């Protein structure tokens, strides 16, 4: 019986660590090193042109918006929601002058302004004239870079949040 006690303790410890990494509150890399925002964008940009795929989260098959954001941040050990709707309650809204590269933009849906329907990553911070990288289901139908200051996005903008802190 006593031989199994260390195994049980190890199992419980590993379970706790894995669960902590899955929660949205796990913001920093497990190693404790800070995340280089420019490096995050360089990583994200290598996927430009990967096709849009509903419910996609795999670079070999395609991404939807939240699948792409989740994939990029997970690479840097930052746990984020998998569904865009879950971003509504996540983080405090930043003022436009506070936007930084690597922040997450949250948008209402294209047809339904009552629900969150799109998320993206700021790749050039300039307030409401910022540019962002995202999985677009629109004309580009792929990972692309767009301007926040366009009619299609400005009117749907809900908030910008810092998930790196």
Q: What is the pLDDT of residues 42-81, one digit of tens each?
A: 999 999 999 999 999 999 999 999 999 999 999 999 999 9
pLDDT of residue 5: 47
pLDDT greater than 70 at residue 120: yes
CATH number of the domain encompassing residue 114: 3.90.1720.10
For the chain, how many structural domains are there in total? 1
pLDDT digits (tens, 9 = 90+) for 80-107: 999 999 999 999 999 999 999 999 999 9
Tell me the whole-structure pTM to 2 decimals: 0.80
What b/e readout covers 100-135, taking b as 16+ CB neighbours within 10 angstroms?
ebbbbbbbbeeeeeeebbbbbbbbebeeeebbbbbb
pLDDT score for 13: 40
Q: Note down the domain range covering 70.
A: 4-161
């Amino acid at each position: 019986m006593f031989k199994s006690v260390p195994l049980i303790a190890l199992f419980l410890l590993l379970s706790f660590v894995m669960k902590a990494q899955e929660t949205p509150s796990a913001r920093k890399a497990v190693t404790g090193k800070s995340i280089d925002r420019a490096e995050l964008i360089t990583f994200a940009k290598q996927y430009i042109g990967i096709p849009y795929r509903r419910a996609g989260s795999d670079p070999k098959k395609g991404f939807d918006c939240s699948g792409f954001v989740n994939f990029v941040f997970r690479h840097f050990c930052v746990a984020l929601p998998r569904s865009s709707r879950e971003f509504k309650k996540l983080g405090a809204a930043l003022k436009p002058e506070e936007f930084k590269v690597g922040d997450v933009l949250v948008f209402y849906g294209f047809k339904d302004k009552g629900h969150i329907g799109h998320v993206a990553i700021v790749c050039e911070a300039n307030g409401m004239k910022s540019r962002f990288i995202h999985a677009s289901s629109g004309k580009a139908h792929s990972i692309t870079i767009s301007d926040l200051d366009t009619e299609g996005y400005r009117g749907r903008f809900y908030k910008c949040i810092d998930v790196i802190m």
